[in-house]
């Protein structure tokens, strides 16, 4: 005797369709959650980087103002050396703070350039301190060259950051 196959149970089909629908909804929610988390991580990185760059800018402006006062004879060599030591300590802390950042992949290169810019500026400041101590103008010239290099690294970092930002928003 040949068995006749049972027709599919409509309830079972409905349950299967509901399960598939629930799985699709969960997958869409999980994907959107992942995208939101990636955007938040990127925003946190950008905010933290902006804070570091703001600290760097403020420190540089303050140091430059003191250097101008020193060059005009308004503060002594010893005072300027003390200012320079404090400035170098702050710059080292700023340099260290780049290591605390967790950049999204497209921003890794720009972070490296920002770090290189700050490191080069710190080297320039160390040579500037040597110039203050010795009065050797060749040391001042090297410091100025490193400062120009630092500025170029920063411009490259900004370009890289903006390229990564526009690329990630597409």
Least confident of 26-30, 34-38, 100-104: 34-38
Using one digit for the tens of pLDDT, what is the confidence trace for 95-120? 999 999 999 999 999 999 999 999 99
User: At residue 30, does pLDDT exceed 90?
Assistant: no
Q: What is the pLDDT of residue 144?
A: 96
- Provide the token pair at 23: 């799985």
Q: What is the largest CA-CA distance in the chain?
A: 115
The structural domains of the chain, ordered by start, are: 31-168 (1.20.120)
Mean pLDDT of 137-149: 97
């Amino acid at each position: 005797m040949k068995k006749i196959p049972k027709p599919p149970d409509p309830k079972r089909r409905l349950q299967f369709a509901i399960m598939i629908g629930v799985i699709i909804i969960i997958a869409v929610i999980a994907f959107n959650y992942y995208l939101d988390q990636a955007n938040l991580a990127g925003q946190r990185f950008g905010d933290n980087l902006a804070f570091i760059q703001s600290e760097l800018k403020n420190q540089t402006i303050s140091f430059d103002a003191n250097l101008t006062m020193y060059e005009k004879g308004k503060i002594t060599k010893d005072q300027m050396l003390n200012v320079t030591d404090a400035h170098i300590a702050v710059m080292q802390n700023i340099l260290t703070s780049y290591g605390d950042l967790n950049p999204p992949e497209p921003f890794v290169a720009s972070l490296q350039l920002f770090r290189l810019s700050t490191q080069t500026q710190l080297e320039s400041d160390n040579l500037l301190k040597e110039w203050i101590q010795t009065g050797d103008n060749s040391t001042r010239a090297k410091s100025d060259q490193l400062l120009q290099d630092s500025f170029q690294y920063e411009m490259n970092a900004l370009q890289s950051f903006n390229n990564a930002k526009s690329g990630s928003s597409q």
